[in-house]
Amino acid sequence: MLTIPADLHPDCVPLAFLLGTWVGVGVVGYPTIEERRFGQEVTFSHSGKPVLEYSSRSWLLDDEGNRVSVSAQEQGYWRPQPDGEIEVLLAHPTGFAEVWVGRVDGARVELVTDVVARTRTAKEVTAGHRLYGLVDGDLLWAYDMAA
């Protein structure tokens, strides 16, 4: 059962299903890298303001499921809008930042990139698509990146 914190800003109530720390494993695949298993920890928190704070860290796993190395990190803010739209701002230590836009639909959020800004030394990320959803008490997500 979902518990909505009493001090959660009303604009964030549609995103209450995301609150907490989520840990899981998945598979990363991209044309320029070998398919690998990875682990990830994602945290959504709030401060009573009309925004959720977001932190994600992932690491590559060996064949036994042990952490090998950090593979990605991102920090950001999820800004729900009263009309069901959402704006997400993410920053990456590899030199790029993104503005995502999308929609909240029940316990599902779909996002596409609106803006990608990068330093001259960052890899050339040009666009992305993300889907988050709560399924049987687990947070599932998919991420497609154009680089």
Order of strands across the sheet that contains 52-61: 20-30, 33-46, 52-61, 67-80, 85-92, 96-104, 108-118, 127-135, 138-146
Cα(16)–Cα(51) distance, integer angstroms: 11
Does the reported pTM lie above 0.75?
Answer: yes
- The predicted pLDDT at position 87 comes to 98
- The predicted pLDDT at position 55 comes to 98
Q: CB–CB of 45/52 below 8 Å?
A: yes
- The predicted pLDDT at position 44 comes to 98
φ/ψ region of 137 (left if φ > 0, alpha if ψ in -120 to 50, else beta) reads left
Domain-by-domain residue ranges, the chain? Answer: 10-146
Output DSSP code: residue 14. Answer: G
CATH hierarchy code of domain 10-146: 2.40.128.20
- pLDDT per position in the chain (147 positions), as tens? 688 999 999 999 999 999 999 999 999 887 777 889 999 999 999 999 999 999 999 999 999 999 999 989 999 999 999 899 999 999 999 999 999 999 999 999 999 999 999 999 998 888 999 999 999 999 999 998 886
